[in-house]
Structure 1
Amino acid sequence: MRPDNWHLTEDIDDFLARAGDFLCSRPVMHNTPLTTLEKLRTRGANADGAEAPVFGRLESGGEVRAIFYRTPRGRLTLTTLSPEQAETLAAHLTISATPISGVTADHDTATAFAQAWQRHTGAAPVRDWRGLLHRLGTLTPPEPVPAGRSRLVDERDHEHLMCWCREFAADVGEVVSIDAASWAGTRFAEKRYTYWETPDGTPVSMAGANPMVAGQVRVDPVYTPAHLRDRGYAGAVTVEVSRAALAAGATDVVLFTDPANPTSNALYQRIGYVPVADFTGYSF
């Protein structure tokens, strides 16, 4: 397999026309590319005036075998690659002088590319993210359900929602500006949010859901303020968001957890989420 089997473009519509069927063939494993690329397509790939993202597809035998996209900040997201395919991609990007600041993919793919990139460029990889992908099996509401009810977040909640998104981002180590001016450009926009409220109407937990693409919905983020945790609120609101996704016709409902957090992993597995694959991110 030669490096020139990788085809790069900045035209998202052409890219999706050629690679869309491949992405939809594995909606669970491809949930992040499907969701991100749909957002770029609908908003415009460089709607904020930033450098255009770069999209790539690996073709062999007339079929797309893998894809990547590179954000304006230089971060790569990859679908599953063999070590040989990771090597050819690293070679291609080196030859084309494409700047890369990091990579995110399933663990084996991310590690293979990080090692290949270091061989080609000398840039040492530093692991900066881990995620355990889960897919919903049989939805199982927690027992007992905490007192209260779910409620869709609406415009009156926007300031409060942004505050909780800022707190969530800080909790998971994301450096991001979230305010009224920057909101539309963050990864937290374009989601549908649900609160869990106590009987007196006080929000105590939230869960977001990305728009459905290729029959899959990714639940993200789920957040409960620290002083309200361990009361069942996160499980209750996640069940409600998951149930809504199924009712809307989703065939797959997925979410990522921190594999180093046994509490959250146990919670999601109790309500029906089944581990699928480990994902890893490296910065260079």
Structure 2
Amino acid sequence: MTWRPVQERDLASALAFLRSHIQTSMFLLGNLEQYGLGGVAPRATSLWMLGELRGILGITNGGMVLLQAPGLNDAEWRAAKSILNGRDVTGCSGDATQVEAFLSATGLSGRADASIAREPLFELALDALRMPDCDDVSLIPIGDAPRETVEAWRAQYLAEVPGLPAGDPVHVARDDITRYIEGDTHRVLTSNGEPVAMTGFNAQAASAVQIGGVYTPAHLRGRGYARKAVALHLSEARKRGVSLAILFAANAAAAAAYRAVGFENCGAFGMIFFDTEQEVRA
């Protein structure tokens, strides 16, 4: 079997394939829904398919490799290396086992400047959402919160979470918050009018959302603010027709907060970001 570029005529079948593995396809689906096939935006994604849809490999304009190819053998993963020939790769994400196999086949697993983050993956059908007591809090659009506060929170999040892309956290945070406001993707939880936590969706596709960037400042942790923020945002999404939520947890405390509102483990998600772009040669 060989890999070939996905054309517009293949797109309906490719989308159906990705939706059948939606738990680990949200970045692929979200990028395609927002930018279409190809395009010029940094997160716009070109796709390749193996045979008659044995697997899909996406590459964003920013160099991120996105995988959805369950059950491939070593030879099929090695064949994927030719797709990347001469390209600068900045990272990779997808089902953790697939990411590990891809990195090994392409020779990227030995990079000294990065290691794979393997995080527990969770899903929740929103009709099973368990709402905590939220009488003492409110949820507001991130654009209505003090800009300096949410930028500082985002910078601290970037500094705290291991394995995220390299770069100046303050500069990256500023750009991220601008994107969140423009896309109306994130919310801020307030208590007595004061911001206490932040949550958001880092991918949206059809009737599913993927949660990301959940943050509570250190001095306010342990009060249930993260789970309240997530639950209120999901309740809001459910009212507009979203039926499924997906996320991956960076630590045990986060996983406990998500389980408290009904999330259940459904696998492992893998991510790796390189400090410098790596040119791949077949």
Output the TM-score relative to the length of structure 1.
Answer: 0.78
Aligned-pair CA distance for 1:26: 3.2
Other-structure match for 2:31: 36
Aligned-pair CA distance for 1:74: 3.2
Tell me if structure 1 keeps the 8 A contact 2:138–2:191: yes
**1:273 pairs with 256, 263, 278, which one?**
263
User: Is 1:136–2:124 an aligned residue pair?
Assistant: yes
Q: 1:39 to 1:268 in 2, by over 3 A?
A: same
Q: 1:75 to 1:151 in 2, by over 3 A?
A: closer
Other-structure match for 2:245: 253
Q: 1:190 to 1:90 in 2, by over 3 A?
A: farther
Tell me if structure 1 keeps the 8 A contact 2:55–2:68: yes
Separation in structure 1 between the aligned mates of residue 145 and residue 199 of structure 2, nearest angstrom: 17
User: Is 1:124–2:114 an aligned residue pair?
Assistant: no
Q: 1:188 to 1:197 in 2, by over 3 A?
A: closer
Q: 1:229 to 1:96 in 2, by over 3 A?
A: closer
Separation in structure 2 between the aligned mates of residue 73 and residue 153 of structure 1, nearest angstrom: 26
Other-structure match for 1:226: 218
Separation in structure 1 between the aligned mates of residue 97 and residue 217 of structure 2, nearest angstrom: 34
Taking the TM superposition and a 5 Å limit, the aligned residue runs for 1:144-159 are 145=134, 147-154=136-143, 157-159=146-148
- 1:76-113 CA deviation, whole Å, 9 max, x = no partner? 110133241x5324324337724345432212211222
- 1:39-67 CA deviation, whole Å, 9 max, x = no partner? 3339x73236x9x854211232xxx2321
Q: 1:198 to 1:185 in 2, by over 3 A?
A: closer
Counterpart residue type for residue 190 of structure 1:
G
Q: 1:229 to 1:123 in 2, by over 3 A?
A: closer
Query: What percent of counterpart residues are identical?
Result: 24
Secondary structure in 2 aligned to 1:178? helix
Aligned-pair CA distance for 1:208: 0.9
Taking the TM superposition and a 5 Å limit, the aligned residue runs for 1:51-70 are 53-60=45-52, 64-70=53-59
Counterpart residue type for residue 106 of structure 2:
W
Counterpart residue type for residue 197 of structure 1:
T
- 1:113-171 CA deviation, whole Å, 9 max, x = no partner? 222223xxx862553322222111421123x5473322233356444333322222222
Tell me if structure 2 keeps the 8 A contact 1:148–1:198: yes
Q: 1:198 to 1:55 in 2, by over 3 A?
A: same
Size of the aligned set, in residue pairs, is 264
Separation in structure 2 between the aligned mates of residue 263 and residue 219 of structure 1, nearest angstrom: 16
Tell me if structure 1 keeps the 8 A contact 2:121–2:269: yes
Separation in structure 2 between the aligned mates of residue 151 and residue 186 of structure 1, nearest angstrom: 16
Aligned-pair CA distance for 1:205: 0.4
- 1:206-251 CA deviation, whole Å, 9 max, x = no partner? 1112464131011222111111111111111111011112111112
Separation in structure 1 between the aligned mates of residue 66 and residue 181 of structure 2, nearest angstrom: 18
Q: 1:96 to 1:68 in 2, by over 3 A?
A: closer
Separation in structure 2 between the aligned mates of residue 273 and residue 234 of structure 1, nearest angstrom: 14
Considering only aligned residues, what root-mean-square deviation do their CA atoms show, in Å? 3.1
Aligned-pair CA distance for 1:191: 4.5
Taking the TM superposition and a 5 Å limit, the aligned residue runs for 1:1-284 are 2=1, 4=2, 6-8=3-5, 16-17=11-12, 19-41=14-36, 45-47=39-41, 53-60=45-52, 64-84=53-73, 87-94=75-82, 97-99=85-87, 100-118=89-107, 124=110, 127-137=115-125, 138-142=128-132, 145=134, 147-154=136-143, 157-173=146-162, 174=164, 175-176=166-167, 177-178=171-172, 182-183=175-176, 190-199=183-192, 201-210=193-202, 212-258=204-250, 261-282=251-272
Secondary structure in 1 aligned to 2:222? coil
Counterpart residue type for residue 119 of structure 2:
G
Separation in structure 1 between the aligned mates of residue 10 and residue 117 of structure 2, nearest angstrom: 27
